[in-house]
Each structure stands twice: as structure tokens, then as C-alpha cells.
């Protein structure tokens, strides 16, 4: 009696069960990366504590609620998580198609920032105020440049010729120029860096890369020499070189000097939460945004600093892993690009607080106060999850 398994209900049930188990195993939702998400959330929580500590005394002395900045950042976190889920759900390959649109919107917003509709603060025009919220389009533009250049390189089918490279370069330089005019030197560097790393990962030949590096160096020197960079930026950029000079108080070197004191005086174990004198007495300027790392370093010492850098390294590790496992070159490029942006911002931001990098206005990912930055970083986490889920 030859009875096929289709006829045998038991066999059929068993087989279908195995098959469905097998299919389920490939369900994207079953391939979330919990380590990635939890690490990002942990960093954000550490950031909230640091922001609270940084602003506690200053806000209390002005009779303002000490949680003012934290509650705003929490709202951004909520939006960020939603954005992360949305970005993760839509197949990232569709993102490739939407990339030009995202790019155009970003460039448009950057143009609006520079128009009278933009808001200036501290000598730089970086924000658009929308219904009580400050939007920083340059953060969004980071994402836009990343996916657009990745898409261009992907379309070139991994053999990018000079034409493709030139196109990608133009795509990069437009927002770079707009951000540079704000002026936001740090973010414009991020754009150039992103494209450079994508060229490296995308298989652009070494000689082109070397040519681009030389051209970039010449451009930077030319910018410094021809006073395209405003004087205050030059002094900020070079101040870290003479941070040890005590007489330079209240000058550009003051920030770096106070920052070094905050970090150094944290010693191995830190002074304890809310015990940092440099932090609570406002010696370090901007210590809830660009100089947030000084709060962690002062109050939690080398241990706390290491935990934060360690968690950031975990993100780098997960990102690289996702890049390696990516199904297509677009996924690999986007994941690799996110790792590159993360690394650059961490190195420039932390490096600036410890006196090995110039003072540029780059936030520390997930930690620094700033809603747009946090939302965009959760969007990037969403992208990583997306690429990871759809790696089969």
C-alpha cells in the first residue's frame, strides 16, 4: 500500500509542522538583534542621567524643574523608538528607492536652516523651530547622505567607475557645503567621512581613494588659509593645542582646559553621581550637549567612561557583524557606514573632551542632549535591525 504522506494526515501534519517551523525560522521578526537594541537603550539611559546631573544645579538655581531637559530627551527617546520600529519594519531594500526623496528633503531643510526661517544660537544657524521643537536637519542629512551614497554604489553593482564616484561625491558635497555655511564644521566632516568609508567598503580602487584623501587635505588647508572658516572656528579648532595655559581662561582654550580638569579629576572611580564640582558649578560649558562626556568622566571616573565606551564598542561590534552578514552590498554599505559615523562621532566628541581632538560641535551618539540626534540614531539602529532581519 503506497500511501503518500499527503494522504497520511499524521505524516502530513508532522511534515507541515516541520516546514512551518523552518519557515518561521526565517521570519524577519525572529531575527531581531536584542543586544543592539538593549545597548542603545542603555546608552540613552546613561545619557539621561548625565544630562540630569549636568543641569541639576543650574536649573535649580534658576528655580526651574531639574528634569526639564530630561523630559524633553525622554520624549525624543519615545519618538526615536517608534521611528526605529517603523524603519525596521519596512524592508530596507525599499529604502534604496526612497533614498533620493529622503536626500532631497534633507537638502531642502538644510536650505531652510540657512534662510531667515532658521534659528541661530551661539554664532551658528543650525535649527528650525517647529511647534516648540527644535529640529536639527543636519542630523537627518547624515542619514540621507549615508543611504543615498550607499544606493548609488549599490546600483553601480560593486564596480564603481569614476562616473559613479563623481556622482556620489557631488551628492555628498552639496549638504556638506550647506552645513559648513551654518557653520558646523564637525557635521560637514561627518558627511565627507561617511562617503570616504563607503567608497572604501564599496570597492572604489585604492588610487582613487588616495586621490580623494589628498584633495580633501588640500581643501581643508585652503579653507583654513583663505579664512573661509570663521575666526572663532579656527580658534576653537586649535585651542586644544594650548589647553594647559592657565592664562587662556575665558578664551577658546578655556573650554578644553575645564573639560580636561573635569575628566582628569574624576580619577579611577569618579566623584559620585551629582558630586562632580566641574559639572555642577558650570565650569565646563555645554556639558549637557557636546561636553556631556565630562559629566560621566568626572562623576563615574575611568570605570564609568570605560563602560560607556565599552557599550559604544558593543554597537560597533554588532554593526560590523550585521555588515558582514548582510545579504546585499547595500545592506553591507549602510551597516558599515553607520559604524563609521558612530566611530567618528565618538572619537571626535570624546577626543575633544580629553584634549586630543579639536573642539567641534559633534554630539556624543545616544548620550548628548539633542532630540534630532537621538531620533536619527534610533533610526540608524532601526536600519541595522532591518538589514540584520532580512539577511537570508
Partner 1 sequence: MAIPPSESSSSVLRLTFLAVMVITLFVALFARLWFLQVMAGDRYVELADSNRLRTVITEAPRGEILTSDGEALVRNRPALAISADRQALLDAAGAPVDEEAERVIERLAVLLELEVDEVLERLASQRRSPFRPVPIAVDVTPEVAFAVQERRELFPAVVSETLPVREYPHGTLAAHLIGYIGEISQQELLRPEFADYRAGDLVGRSGLEQSYEADLRGVTGQRRLVVNARGDVLDVQSDREPVQGADLVTSLDLDLQLATEQLLEDGILASREIRRDDGQLLPSTAGSAIVLDARTGAILAMTSYPTYDPREFVGGVTQEYFDLLADPENERPLVNRAISGLYPPGSVFKTASGAAWVEAGVVTPRSTVECAPAFELGGNTFRNWNRGVNEGMMDLSDALTRSCDTYFYELAFDQWLREENADEPDEVLIRVAERFGFGVTTGIDLPGEASGRVPGRQWRFDYWVANRDNYCRQADLASPGSYASELYSDLCQFGAAWRGGDAVNSSIGQGDVLSTPLQVAASYQAIANDGGLLRPHLGARIVAPDGTVLREIEPEVVGELGVSDQTLQVMQEGLERVVMTDRGTGSSAFRGFPLDEIPVAGKTGTAELRPKVPYAWFAGYAPIDDPEIVVVVNVEQGGGGSQTAAPIVRNIMAHYFGIVLAEDAEFEAGEEILD
- Please report how close the Cβ of residue 41 comes to partner 1 at its closest, in angstroms: 21
Alpha-helical regions (H) of the chain: 9-25, 34-61, 68-89, 92-114, 137-155, 162-180, 185-201, 206-225, 231-239, 252-265, 277-280, 292-325, 329-353, 371-389
| Near partner 1 by CB under 8 A: residue from 67, 302, 307, 391 | 302
| Phi then psi dihedrals of residue 275, to 5 deg | -100, -5
| Under rule CB under 8 A, residue 262 binds partner 1 | yes
- Please report how close the Cβ of residue 180 comes to partner 1 at its closest, in angstroms: 23
| Under rule CB under 8 A, residue 277 binds partner 1 | yes
| Under rule CB under 8 A, residue 336 binds partner 1 | yes
Q: Which stretch binds partner 1 (CB under 8 A): 73-81, 139-147, 275-283, 382-390?
A: 275-283
| Near partner 1 by CB under 8 A: residue from 260, 334, 352, 385 | 260
| Under rule CB under 8 A, residue 313 binds partner 1 | yes
Binding marks (x or -) toward partner 1, 144..163, rule CB under 8 A? Answer: --------------x-----
* Contact criterion met (CB below 8 Å) for 268 and 259: no
Strand order from edge to edge, sheet including 124-130: 118-121, 124-130, 133-135
Residue that is written with C-alpha cell 523608538 in the block: 81
**Of 66 and 328, CB closest to partner 1:** 328
| Under rule CB under 8 A, residue 297 binds partner 1 | yes
| Cα–Cα dist 112/74, whole Å | 27
- Please report how close the Cβ of residue 18 comes to partner 1 at its closest, in angstroms: 26
| Under rule CB under 8 A, residue 323 binds partner 1 | yes
| Under rule CB under 8 A, residue 46 binds partner 1 | no
Q: How many residues bind partner 1 (CB under 8 A)?
A: 49
| Cα–Cα dist 202/158, whole Å | 6
| Under rule CB under 8 A, residue 350 binds partner 1 | yes
User: Which residues in 191-210 contact partner 1 (CB under 8 A)?
Assistant: 197, 200-201, 203
- Please report how close the Cβ of residue 181 comes to partner 1 at its closest, in angstroms: 28
- Please report how close the Cβ of residue 207 comes to partner 1 at its closest, in angstroms: 15
| Under rule CB under 8 A, residue 347 binds partner 1 | yes
> 111 CB contacts (<8 Å, ≥6 apart)?
178
CB neighbours (10 Å) of residue 19?
A: 10
Question: Residue 125 forms beta bridges with which residues?
Answer: 120
| Under rule CB under 8 A, residue 292 binds partner 1 | no
| Under rule CB under 8 A, residue 332 binds partner 1 | yes
- Please report how close the Cβ of residue 227 comes to partner 1 at its closest, in angstroms: 26
Query: SS3 for 20-61, per residue?
Result: HHHHHHCCHHHHCCHHHHHHHHHHHHHHHHHHHHHHHHHHHH
**Of 137 and 337, CB closest to partner 1:** 337
| Cα–Cα dist 6/36, whole Å | 43
| Under rule CB under 8 A, residue 43 binds partner 1 | no
DSSP state of 363: P
| Under rule CB under 8 A, residue 282 binds partner 1 | yes
Burial 320-351 (b: 16+ CB within 10 A, else e): ebbbeebebbbbbbbbbbbbbbbbbbbebbbb
DSSP state of 67: T
| Under rule CB under 8 A, residue 60 binds partner 1 | no
- Please report how close the Cβ of residue 216 comes to partner 1 at its closest, in angstroms: 16
Burial 64-95 (b: 16+ CB within 10 A, else e): eeebebbebbeebbebbbebbeebbeeebeeb
- Please report how close the Cβ of residue 275 comes to partner 1 at its closest, in angstroms: 11
| Under rule CB under 8 A, residue 281 binds partner 1 | yes
Binding site for partner 1 (CB under 8 A): 57, 158, 197, 200-201, 203, 258, 260-268, 277-278, 281-283, 285, 297, 301-302, 305-306, 309, 312-313, 316, 320, 323-324, 327-329, 332, 336, 339-340, 343, 346-347, 350-351, 354-356
Amino acid at each position: 500500500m503506497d500511501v503518500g504522506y499527503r494522504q497520511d494526515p499524521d505524516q502530513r501534519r508532522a511534515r507541515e509542522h516541520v516546514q512551518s517551523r523552518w519557515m518561521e525560522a526565517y521570519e524577519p521578526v525572529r531575527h531581531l538583534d536584542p543586544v543592539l537594541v538593549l545597548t542603545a537603550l542603555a546608552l540613552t539611559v546613561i545619557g539621561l542621567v548625565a544630562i540630569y546631573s549636568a543641569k541639576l544645579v543650574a536649573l535649580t538655581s534658576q528655580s526651574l524643574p531639574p528634569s526639564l531637559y530630561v523630559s524633553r530627551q525622554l520624549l525624543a527617546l519615545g519618538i526615536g523608538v517608534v521611528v526605529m520600529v517603523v524603519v525596521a519594519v519596512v524592508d530596507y531594500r525599499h529604502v534604496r528607492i526612497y533614498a533620493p526623496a529622503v536626500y532631497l528633503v534633507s537638502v531642502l531643510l538644510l536650505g531652510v536652516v540657512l534662510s531667515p526661517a532658521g534659528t541661530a544660537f551661539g554664532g551658528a544657524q543650525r535649527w528650525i523651530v517647529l511647534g516648540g521643537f527644535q529640529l536639527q536637519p543636519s542630523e537627518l542629512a547624515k542619514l540621507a547622505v549615508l543611504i543615498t551614497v550607499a544606493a548609488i554604489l549599490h546600483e553601480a553593482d560593486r564596480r564603481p567607475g569614476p562616473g559613479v564616484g563623481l556622482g556620489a561625491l557631488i551628492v555628498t558635497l552639496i549638504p556638506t557645503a550647506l552645513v559648513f555655511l551654518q557653520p558646523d564644521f564637525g557635521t560637514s566632516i561627518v558627511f565627507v567621512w561617511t562617503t570616504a568609508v563607503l567608497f572604501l567598503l564599496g570597492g572604489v580602487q585604492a588610487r582613487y581613494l588616495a586621490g580623494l584623501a589628498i584633495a580633501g587635505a588640500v581643501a581643508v588647508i585652503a579653507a583654513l588659509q583663505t579664512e573661509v572658516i570663521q575666526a572663532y572656528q579656527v580658534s576653537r579648532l586649535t585651542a586644544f593645542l594650548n589647553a594647559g595655559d592657565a592664562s587662556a581662561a575665558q578664551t577658546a582654550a578655556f573650554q578644553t582646559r575645564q573639560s580636561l580638569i573635569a575628566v582628569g579629576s574624576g580619577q579611577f572611580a569618579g566623584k559620585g553621581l551629582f558630586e562632580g564640582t566641574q559639572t555642577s558649578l558650570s565650569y565646563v560649558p555645554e556639558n549637557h550637549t557636546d561636553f556631556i562626556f565630562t559629566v560621566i568622566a568626572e562623576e563615574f571616573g575611568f570605570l564609568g567612561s570605560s563602560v560607556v565606551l565599552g557599550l559604544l564598542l558593543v554597537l560597533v561590534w554588532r554593526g560590523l557583524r550585521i555588515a558582514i552578514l548582510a545579504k546585499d552590498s547595500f545592506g553591507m554599505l549602510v551597516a558599515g557606514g553607520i559604524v563609521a559615523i558612530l566611530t567618528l562621532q565618538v572619537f571626535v566628541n570624546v577626543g575633544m573632551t580629553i584634549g586630543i581632538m579639536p573642539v567641534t560641535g559633534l554630539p556624543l551618539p545616544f548620550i548628548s542632549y539633542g532630540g534630532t540626534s537621538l531620533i536619527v540614531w534610533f533610526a540608524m539602529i532601526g536600519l541595522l535591525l532591518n538589514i540584520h532581519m532580512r539577511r537570508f
